[in-house]
Structure 1
Amino acid sequence: MAGLWPSVPRTLALASLQLGAPAGLCPGRSSLRFCSLSAEAPGQRPAASCARVGASAVGVLLVAGQRRLRLRRCRRQIRHACLGHVLEGQEVLIEAVEGLSVAEGRVVEIREVSPGPGLQTRHFSLRCHGGSTFLVKVGRGPVTTFQAEKAGLEALAAASNGLGLVVPAPHTLGEMPEGRGSFLVMDFLRFIPFGPSIPEVVEKLGQSLALLHGSAVPLVTSSGAKSDWNQPYGFEGGLQTFLSAWPQDNSPESDFAEFFVQRRLRPQLEAASLKFQFRYGTSNEDSTALARLYTRVLKGAEEALEPVRHCKPSLLHGDLWTGNTGATQSRQPILVDPACWVGHAEFDLAVSQLFGKFPARFYDAYFEVAPKEPGFQERQNVYMLYHLLNQANLHGAGLGHGGTPENPGGYLEQAIAAMERLAKA
């Protein structure tokens, strides 16, 4: 690449590099045009000669007086283009990774590694020259969503230290240009295929999760400073976290039953009642059931949670199912994509019983460390209702809508079935 740069002192070089360039600038081209403009004498129109170097476009002007600084900028932009165009504004991600103290040289490869369609985020791996690789998640939402995930990853890493769980270390976050969302940079972990189904991994995960729930909640902020947060339930500083796209109110509370009913269940019930009151693709009976059962469900939930009103506070992953776990090459269980808060340990077992269920050995291993307590299944019904309402509020009545009372199909019908059980309890 060095041979492309002119060496005469009074040479002007113009390069254009199109990474999502505005319409009209090199339209339809995927190559970079390098132009050297040689000025023969002051005031004389320079003669231009151009060569195409493989990349695409914007303009960087290299002036003789500041040649070294501008050369570095131009080389960096050309290198970004040569990495390939996988995302609008990807140069921001590259610069964020290269700015990390743990990055081993410049980024030499960027590729998309999103697990599949339908996700709210896209995933990219960025590999540096020295071999270090980072995962960058890019989402359409504000940076606050990734602030919550970063805090959750840090809290999980601190609490699970020495327990046999692997949590990717988050490094930095930021906003994409032109309001195109935000991003989070973390360590890239290599998952082995079907990790959550390997008996050895499943057993370790169950045991380690129970130990995590039994550990003290780390009261440190993301900056490493000691926290004055002293309420047992919620999250440090009342930081709002997100279950998928649903914002979770983590204002601290000393009564867990009160916290869960008021901060978790009531907002979901109110949103679902409003959303489905005009049927929204459901039967008339389903659309009125939410309002009909509303008061009795809240009362039934509080009664079911009475024995754990002052339970031991546990740091929760918050969205624990097989899709948010994995295994390293050495078969250590991995936890990713948390929706952390501090509450009752049993909550983390609920969502996996609805979708993405673990093999039986996971639950057996968990209960060997933390045995079931009386009323376990009644409380699971309350926690599962929260997840079902969350899915219905975010995604509608759900696949399988139209099932029978004996075998309810979609999210809403399953939620109503759980509400009926609570109302009768």
Structure 2
Amino acid sequence: MKETVQKGLQSVGDHSKIKQWKTVGGGDINRSFYVQTENSEYFIKGNQDVPPHFFKAEAEGLRQIQETNTISVPRVHYYDEPETGQEAVIIMDWIKTGHKDVSEPLGHQLAHMHRHTKDAYGFHSPTFVGELDQPNTWSDSWLTYYRDFRLKGQLDYGQSTGTITGDRYHSLTALLERLDEWIPHHPSASLLHGDLWGGNWMNGADGKPYLIDPSVLYGDHAFEMAFTELFGGFSPAFYKAYEDVLPLPAEYENQKPLYQLFYLLVHLNMFGEIYGGSVDRILKRYIG
């Protein structure tokens, strides 16, 4: 892998000697490293068990966010697209962590990011949620996109692997048929991070919040905010700051479990039945 990284660094103009290389935490999917050269410091992720466009999708998401000029992301220096089974890497700036509370700027800046909109829902290329493929397309209806490309996608995957069967399958199918009772067709199509839990933002030493590991799409900003409430990692100051800029809809509390359902299905399909009870409680609430 070091040879692959050196080639990547040289391709972006850093021909200096590597002074330090150490393993760091970076999630369950990839191997992650801190690399210091004579010129700079880098965060590097590598994986052999991902499709060729795995890191391309991450780099494109970071670029989309960066171009809004609202919130910071790590700069991507290099990524490759090797054949499946070969070593894939992405090279980014190393973000030093700080101790200042950035909850308010995180809320403000995320809301301003969400004010960047398109006239369609979805995304122009496939992405990933965790290690699962996320096919995308453009749709003129958020309800259609969310139902067919998010919830139904996870239903089909879970049916094929045996995590969604029997009563759970029938309840989820019934929910999809009635989804228009709760999910709107035409909310604002905001740029969303797409995987925003507490582990996917950083408190920078420069006093700025940073978003990392996106799975971007354009959709209802309430979808993003519902996920922030699912696993914690965000303070009351964050939510207040967010709503000072972009209030949530009056229907949010009733929509929230349906938006969280997608991420719970993803976790059910990735990690198993430990998430089954949470999925079933949401289905029971809406379907009975």
Please say whether Structure 1 and Structure 2 have the same fold, judged by a TM-score greater than 0.5.
yes
CA displacement 1:28-87 (0-9 Å, x = unmatched): xxxxxxxxxxxxxxxxxxxxxxxxxxxxxxxxxxxxxxxxxxxxxxxxxxxxxxxxxxxx
The structural deviation recorded for 1:266 is 0.8
Instruction: Report the AA paired with residue 371 of structure 1.
Output: P
1:98 aligned to 10, 16, 24, which one?
A: 10
Report if aligned partners of 1:273, 1:290 keep a CA contact under 8 Å in 2.
no
CA displacement 1:170-202 (0-9 Å, x = unmatched): 12212579943311111121122xx5xx5x401
Q: 1:414 to 1:382 in 2, by over 3 A?
A: same
The structural deviation recorded for 1:216 is 4.0
Residue aligned with 2:178, SS? helix
What TM-score do you get using the length of structure 2 for normalisation? Answer: 0.92
Distance 1:347 1:267 in 2: 16
Residue aligned with 1:381, SS? helix
Distance 2:270 2:286 in 1: 23
Q: 1:311 to 1:175 in 2, by over 3 A?
A: closer
Structure 2, gaps ≥5 residues long: none
Corresponding residue number in structure 2 for 1:394: 270
1:303 aligned to 181, 191, 208, which one?
A: 181
Corresponding residue number in structure 1 for 2:276: 412
The structural deviation recorded for 1:92 is 1.4
Report if aligned partners of 1:176, 1:182 keep a CA contact under 8 Å in 2.
yes
What TM-score do you get using the length of structure 1 for normalisation? Answer: 0.64
Report if aligned partners of 1:113, 1:124 keep a CA contact under 8 Å in 2.
yes
Report if aligned partners of 1:258, 1:302 keep a CA contact under 8 Å in 2.
no
Report if aligned partners of 2:20, 2:36 keep a CA contact under 8 Å in 1.
yes
Alignment of 1:243-282 (within 5 A): 243-276=129-162
Alignment of 1:1-400 (within 5 A): 89-101=1-13, 103=14, 105-115=15-25, 119-130=28-39, 132-140=40-48, 141-159=50-68, 161=69, 163=70, 165-174=71-80, 179-192=85-98, 200-216=101-117, 232-235=120-123, 238-276=124-162, 288-306=166-184, 309-398=185-274
Distance 1:142 1:255 in 2: 29
RMSD: 2.1
Instruction: Report the AA paired with residue 414 of structure 1.
Output: S
The structural deviation recorded for 1:423 is 1.4
Residue aligned with 2:35, SS? strand
The structural deviation recorded for 1:249 is 1.7
Q: 1:312 to 1:175 in 2, by over 3 A?
A: closer
The structural deviation recorded for 1:269 is 1.8
Q: Which of structures 1 and 2 has the bigger CA Rg?
A: 1
Report if aligned partners of 1:112, 1:122 keep a CA contact under 8 Å in 2.
no
Taking only the aligned residue pairs, the percentage that are identical comes to 27
CA displacement 1:301-357 (0-9 Å, x = unmatched): 232113xx1111111100111111111112110100001111111111122222133
The structural deviation recorded for 1:271 is 2.4
Q: Which has the higher contact order (CA 8 A, sep 6+)?
A: 2
Residue aligned with 1:135, SS? strand
The structural deviation recorded for 1:110 is 3.9
Instruction: Report the AA paired with residue 46 of structure 2.
Output: V
The structural deviation recorded for 1:293 is 0.6
The structural deviation recorded for 1:114 is 2.5
Report if aligned partners of 1:272, 1:393 keep a CA contact under 8 Å in 2.
yes
Distance 1:335 1:267 in 2: 26
The structural deviation recorded for 1:157 is 0.4
Structure 1, gaps ≥5 residues long: 1-88, 218-230, 278-285, 399-410
Report if aligned partners of 2:51, 2:84 keep a CA contact under 8 Å in 1.
no
Report if aligned partners of 1:301, 1:422 keep a CA contact under 8 Å in 2.
no
Residue aligned with 1:143, SS? coil
Report if aligned partners of 1:94, 1:107 keep a CA contact under 8 Å in 2.
no
Distance 1:114 1:389 in 2: 29
Q: 1:294 to 1:329 in 2, by over 3 A?
A: closer
Count of aligned residue pairs for this structure pair: 287
Report if aligned partners of 2:52, 2:82 keep a CA contact under 8 Å in 1.
no
Residue aligned with 1:137, SS? strand
Instruction: Report the AA paired with residue 243 of structure 2.
Output: F
Distance 2:134 2:85 in 1: 24
Instruction: Report the AA paired with residue 417 of structure 1.
Output: R
CA displacement 1:112-146 (0-9 Å, x = unmatched): 34216x6111112222223x122211022123111
Instruction: Report the AA paired with residue 168 of structure 2.
Output: L
